[in-house]
């Protein structure tokens, strides 16, 4: 399968399909024409114009007033990439690196960056052959673009740095030799075009947003199982309540819960209690608020991945080369902070439902196990969930409210969006674990409601789940059950129309 890089607007659904299909990339004829025309215009402009043009024949950052002679322009770009590759910390996951490559290719394809066609084609070759440059998490301020991470992404073009290839980390120079490729000789402006850009933040954002939508669905589904196990009431999900406070996410959540429990014997039986705790009763309001937040974040990132974010930008028809600030990550920093906060709340309320389930209420045994006392049962998984939720509260502190002056004061306001991005991923990975613990507890609790049955949808799901994670009769190593539950939900594929409708 081939995905053609073009001016067609990308959306999150298309990105998901691209990742699932493992499609190869190719440049459309229109994109090829734009790239070539932009490069030709830039080279002609360099011949005709003697005045310095930032980043093309000048130094960078606070060195912007230093004019560079023509014979050193290629070396200038190589030096830029080499000197800026100073990331550190943990390695970026390979699936995010591949997204970075794709988004960089897409941004360069619009023909406002002045790169050579051969440079873009080599990035496509890397993508298509799963040659993934080693990139580090730490080093970007998210303002002059993601300079350090994108420098590491670009180093292998020069035959420098290391890459992941065929399951190993190897020298980029060795991979170039294996494919009989020569290192790219960067021309004027190319290094800056490669390094200026928001592809590190954007790739993390797209990756985490796709996972957040999946977790939003699971949060609703596992809450439904918990509601059944806790002998909860259906009235709080009645359409009439939500139509008089019609937030889209709230309406969608209530409808989804009703569908999950439709036909259940448990939900329809007479109740001894008048109300449920908020962690059950207010699922539409809490989960729904997260859904509405995801919609805002989705709009932000769909705008970003269809944008040109390097600097300066070249406009052929207007005969203009303009230095601006499209590389500044503030829109993404705010969105990523909001993403972390919103998804953290799914984990927060999930842990409360787990707490209620293990508390010996509504005829459930203490800690959801036979012979409590002899068996500790599900006492400690709730501790684990509580620990994770607490950590998420720390991670959810916004990064976007901070700024540290850099480059001798030239870059005097930065977004810290890269830190927001890596924090958001940690939060979302953590919430996945909290939801896995809720499923483990809810499925255990539901057994004690026999012979009454839940809905056909839930019962069918739990039959599949029980093949991987058996009922706990007596104490055993529950870390194994948590890990198996996590693996089970990670391998579940949810249709895109269910996630994004």
64: DSSP letter:
T
pLDDT at 144: 87
CATH number for position 429: 1.20.200.10
Residue 34 structural domain: 2-197
Residues 359 and 249 in one domain: yes
CA gap 267, 166 in Å, rounded: 51
Token pair, residue 420, equals 């927001």
Specify the DSSP element, H or E, that contains 40: helix 29-48
Total of domains in the chain: 2
Query: Which of 169, 197, 225 is the last residue before a domain boundary?
Result: 197
More confident residue, 235 or 49: 235
Mean pLDDT value across the chain? 94
- pLDDT, one tens digit per residue, over 136-166 is 999 999 998 899 999 999 999 999 999 999 9
Q: Which of 393, 399, 289 is nearest to 348 (CA)?
A: 393
The candidate with the shortest Cα–Cα distance to 361, out of 451, 437, 276, 281, is 276
Clarify whether residues 211 and 325 are in a common domain: yes
Write down the H helix ranges in 234-359: 239-243, 248-260, 265-268, 278-281, 283-304, 330-357
Rounded average pLDDT over 320-329:
93
Q: Return d(Cα 9, Cα 15) in angstroms, integer.
A: 11
pLDDT computed for residue 65 by the predictor: 64
Whether the predicted pLDDT of 268 surpasses 80? yes
Q: Looking at 165, 197, 229, which one is the last position of a domain?
A: 197
pLDDT tens-place string over residues 247-256: 999 999 999 9
54 counts as catalytic = yes
State whether 177 and 238 are in the same domain: no
Question: 345 pLDDT band (50/70/90 cuts)?
Answer: very high
Q: Is 123 helix (H, G, I), strand (E, B) or coil?
A: helix
Residues 464 and 347 in one domain: yes
Residue 340 has pLDDT above 90, yes or no: yes
Q: Tell me the average pLDDT across 309-324.
A: 94
> What is the pTM (predicted TM-score) of this model?
0.95
Residue 128, CB half-sphere, CA atoms under 13 Å: how many? 17
Confidence of residue 66 (pLDDT cuts 50, 70, 90): low
What percent of the chain has a predicted confidence (pLDDT) above 90?
A: 85
| CB neighbours of residue 317 within 10 Å | 6
DSSP count for the chain of H helices, then E strands: 20, 9
* 88-108 burial code (b ≥16 CB/10 A, e <16): eeeebbeebbbbbbbbbbbbb
Whether residue 332 is found in the same domain as residue 478: yes
Q: What end-to-end distance do the CA atoms of the chain give, in Å?
A: 26
pLDDT band of residue 59 (cuts 50, 70, 90) is low
54, 110, 338, 465: which one is catalytic? 54
* pLDDT score, position 63: 60
| Cα gap 327→21, rounded to integer Å | 30
Query: Are 441 and 412 members of one domain?
Result: yes
Q: Going by DSSP bridges, is the β-strand pair 24-27/2-5 parallel, antiparallel, or unpaired?
A: parallel
Nearest to 56 by CA among 64, 36, 156: 64
pLDDT digits (tens, 9 = 90+) for 432-446: 999 999 999 999 999
Q: How many Å apart are CA 250 and CA 119, to the nearest integer?
A: 47
Give me the CATH number covering residue 104.
1.10.275.10
Q: What would you measure as the largest C-alpha separation in the chain, in angstroms?
A: 87
pLDDT of residue 64: 60
Task: Assess whether 178 and 303 both reside in one domain.
Answer: no
Lowest mean pLDDT among 59-63, 69-73, 94-98, 139-143: 59-63
Q: Verify that 372 and 402 share a domain, yes or no.
A: yes
CA distances from 443 to 418, 440, 449 (A): 38, 6, 10
Residue range 369-375: mean pLDDT, rounded: 86
Strand order in the sheet with 168-171: 132-133, 162-165, 168-171
**Average pLDDT over every residue of 474-484:** 94
Task: Single out the residue of 214, 234, 238 nearest to residue 224, CA to CA.
Answer: 234
User: Taking 90 as the threshold, does the pLDDT of residue 276 lie above it?
Assistant: yes
Domain final residue pick, 197, 222, 257: 197
Same domain flag for 193 and 213: no
pLDDT computed for residue 62 by the predictor: 59
pLDDT-based confidence at 172, cuts 50/70/90? very high
Residues 113, 157, single domain; the answer is: yes
Structure confidence at residue 393 (pLDDT): 96
The pLDDT > 70 percentage for the chain reads 97
| Whether residues 182 and 311 fall in one domain | no
Same domain, 286 and 365: yes
pLDDT at 151: 97
**Span of 17-21, 27-31, 217-221, 258-262 with lowest mean pLDDT:** 17-21
């Amino acid at each position: 399968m081939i995905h053609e890089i073009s001016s067609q607007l990308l959306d999150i659904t298309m990105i998901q399909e691209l990742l699932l299909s493992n499609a190869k990339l190719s440049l459309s004829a229109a994109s090829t024409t734009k790239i070539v025309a932009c490069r030709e215009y830039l080279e002609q402009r360099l011949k005709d114009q003697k005045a310095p043009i930032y980043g093309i024949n000048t130094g960078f950052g606070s060195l912007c007033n230093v004019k560079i002679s023509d014979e050193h322009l290629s070396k200038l770009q190589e030096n830029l990439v080499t000197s800026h590759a100073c990331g550190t910390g943990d390695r970026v996951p390979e699936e995010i690196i591949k997204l970075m490559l794709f988004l960089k290719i897409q941004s360069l394809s619009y023909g406002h960056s002045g790169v050579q066609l051969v440079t873009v084609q080599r990035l496509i070759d890397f993508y298509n052959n799963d040659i993934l440059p080693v990139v580090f998490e730490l080093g970007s301020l998210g303002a002059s673009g993601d300079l350090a991470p994108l420098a590491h992404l670009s180093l292998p073009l020069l035959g420098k740095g290391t890459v992941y290839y065929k399951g190993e980390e190897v020298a980029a120079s060795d991979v170039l030799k294996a494919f009989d490729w020569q290192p790219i000789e960067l021309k004027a402006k190319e290094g800056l075009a490669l390094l200026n850009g928001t592809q590190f933040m954007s790739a993390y954002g797209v990756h985490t947003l796709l996972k957040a939508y999946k977790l939003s669905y699971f949060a609703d589904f596992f809450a439904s199982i918990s509601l059944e196990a806790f002998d909860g009431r259906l009235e709080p999900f009645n359409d009439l309540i939500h139509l008089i406070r019609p937030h889209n996410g709230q309406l969608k959540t209530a409808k989804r819960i009703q569908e999950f429990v439709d036909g259940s014997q448990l939900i329809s039986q007479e109740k001894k209690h008048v109300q449920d705790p908020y962690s059950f009763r207010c699922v539409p309001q809490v989960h729904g608020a997260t859904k509405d937040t995801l919609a805002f974040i989705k709009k932000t990132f769909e705008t970003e991945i269809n944008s040109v974010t390097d600097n300066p930008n070249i406009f052929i028809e207007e005969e203009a080369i303009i230095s601006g600030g499209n590389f500044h990550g503030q829109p993404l920093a705010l969105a990523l902070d909001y993403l972390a906060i919103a998804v953290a709340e799914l984990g927060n309320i999930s842990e409360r439902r787990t707490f209620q389930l293990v508390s010996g209420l509504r005829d459930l045994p203490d800690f959801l196990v036979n012979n409590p006392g002899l068996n500790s049962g599900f006492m400690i998984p709730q501790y684990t969930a509580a620990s994770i939720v607490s950590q998420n509260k720390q991670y959810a502190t916004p990064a976007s409210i901070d700024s540290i002056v850099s480059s001798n004061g030239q870059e005097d306001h930065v977004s810290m969006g890269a830190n927001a991005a890596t924090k958001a991923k940690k939060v979302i990975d953590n919430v996945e674990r909290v939801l896995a613990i809720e499923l483990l507890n809810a499925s255990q609790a539901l057994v004690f409601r026999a012979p009454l049955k839940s809905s056909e949808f839930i019962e069918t799901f739990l039959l599949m789940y029980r093949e991987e994670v058996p009922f706990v009769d007596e104490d055993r190593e529950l870390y194994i059950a948590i890990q198996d539950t996590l693996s089970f939900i990670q391998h579940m594929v949810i249709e895109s129309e269910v996630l994004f409708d």
